[in-house]
């Protein structure tokens, strides 16, 4: 299973590196959203300072959804997935590989995004390890459930995935924003319960994905 996961992750990342969809399309899109938010709040610095965590995570969610949809989309070209299934690919390995690839892509995007926000809204980033760790866990949570739901909506109309995905991951949005808020404002004790919820969410859906992805592929 691990061998499949590594090969799948390497393949996804290589395909992403070659097509550069994330850098050419998703990153600019995410920055456009930030600028729009700044217009929305007509750039009052104190408001933007408060809103930074929420803003960061809302834009990351859009990025996550696009990255997940793309990750499942590349299997569809030339029906490569049918070939894989016919050759007896291990669904669990495939699932973990895809999740890993999307999470790596998203961490890269979020790193650039957080620097962008820190500069644009001059909110200094501190407690970075906490922020980075919570971002990793939240991304894993959203990606695990995202890959399962993308498998379920594969081949159907594009707007179905966000409709299914965002309500499910709303607690992650809530907790991640809280952790970042407390991280930035320095009251770390308060961030603990929210981090636990993030870890719980990610673990639950990681396990569910591993159990269910075989059936999703078959569907």
Partner 1 sequence: MSRNAKLKRGVGITALVMIALTFWLGLYVTPPAEVMGNLVRMLYIHPPMAWIAYLAYGITTAASLLYLWKRTRRREWDLIAAASAEAGVFFTGLTILTGSIWGRPAWGVWWTWDALLTSTAVLFLLYLGYLALRQVPMSETKRGVRSAIAALVAFIDVPIVHESVYWWKTLHQTPSVLNPSLNVEVHGSMAWTLLLGFVAFTMAYVWMVWTRYETSKRQAELADLEVERAIRERLSVEEVSL
Partner 2 sequence: MTVLLDRFPALVRCDFDAYEGEVVFVQGPNGSGKTTLLRLLGGLVEAFAGSVLVFGRDPKTEARAVRREVSYLAHSYQMYEELSGRENLSFFSATASCDLERALEWTRRFGLIDRDLDVRFRVLSAGQRKKMSAAIALSRRTELLLIDEPHALLDQATKATLDRGLLELAQAGRTVIIASHELDRIATLASRTYRMSNGTATLMGSS
Could you list the residues that contact partner 2 (CB under 8 A)?
3-4, 6-8, 10-11, 14-15, 18-19, 74, 77-80, 82-90, 93-94, 218
Residues 174/195, Cβ–Cβ less than 8 Å: no
Partner whose footprint covers residue 82, from partner 2, partner 1, none (CB < 5 to 8 Å by kind) = partner 2
Structure tokens at 26: 């998703």
Find which of partner 1, partner 2, none residue 219 binds, CB within 5 to 8 Å per kind.
Answer: partner 1
- Which residue number, 99 or 113, has a Cβ lying nearer to partner 1? 99
Nearer to partner 2, 54 or 73 (CB): 73
Binding range to partner 1, per CB under 8 A, among 21-29, 116-124, 125-133, 171-179: 171-179
Apex 78 CA angle, 77 and 79, nearest 5: 85
CB of 2 to partner 2, least distance (A): 11
**Residues near 149 by Cβ (< 8 Å), separated by ≥ 6?**
161, 164, 165, 168
Closer to partner 2 at the Cβ: 4 or 52?
4
For residue 152, what are its two tokens? 């379920």
Run of H or E residues at 32 = helix 27-40
Smallest distance from partner 2 to CB 89, Å: 5
77 binds, among partner 1, partner 2, none (CB under 5 to 8 A by kind): partner 2
Straight-line distance from the first to the last Cα atom of the chain, in angstroms, rounded to the nearest whole number: 21
Which residue in 94, 36, 35, 67 sits closest to 217, CA to CA?
Answer: 94
User: Could you tell me the smallest distance in angstroms from the CB atom of residue 133 to partner 1?
Assistant: 18
Where is 100: in which H helix or E strand? helix 91-120
Single out the residue of 153, 183, 191, 210 in contact with partner 1 (rule: CB under 8 A): 153
- Sign of the four-CA dihedral 181, 185, 186, 189: negative
Cα 52 to Cα 48: distance, rounded to the nearest angstrom: 6
| Residue 152 interface partner, choices partner 2, partner 1, none, CB cut-off 5-8 Å depending on type | partner 1
CA angle (43, 47, 53) in 5-degree steps = 105
CB 170 to partner 1: min, Å: 5
Binding-site ranges for partner 1 (CB under 8 A): 145, 148-149, 152-153, 156-157, 160, 163-164, 166-168, 170-171, 174-175, 178, 190, 193-194, 197, 200-201, 204-205, 208, 212, 215-216, 218-219
């Amino acid at each position: 299973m691990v061998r499949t996961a590594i090969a799948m992750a390497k393949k996804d990342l290589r395909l992403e590196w070659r097509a550069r969809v994330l850098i050419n399309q998703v990153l600019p899109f995410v920055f456009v959203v930030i600028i729009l938010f700044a217009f929305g709040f007509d750039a009052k610095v104190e408001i933007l300072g408060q809103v930074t965590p929420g803003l960061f995570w809302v834009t990351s969610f859009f990025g996550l959804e696009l990255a997940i949809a793309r990750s499942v989309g590349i299997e569809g070209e030339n029906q490569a997935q049918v070939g894989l299934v016919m050759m007896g690919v291990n669904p669990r390995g495939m699932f973990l590989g895809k999740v890993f690839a999307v999470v790596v892509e998203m961490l890269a995007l979020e790193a650039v995004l957080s620097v962008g926000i820190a500069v644009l809204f001059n909110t200094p980033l501190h407690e970075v390890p906490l922020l980075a760790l919570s971002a990793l866990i939240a991304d894993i949570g959203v990606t695990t459930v995202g890959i399962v739901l993308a498998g379920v909506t594969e081949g159907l109309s594009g707007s179905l995935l966000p409709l299914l995905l965002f309500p499910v991951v709303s607690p992650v949005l809530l907790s991640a924003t809280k952790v970042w808020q407390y991280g930035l404002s320095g009251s770390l004790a308060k961030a603990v319960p929210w981090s636990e919820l993030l870890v719980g969410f990610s673990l639950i859906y990681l396990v569910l994905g591993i159990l269910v992805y075989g059936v999703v592929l078959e569907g």
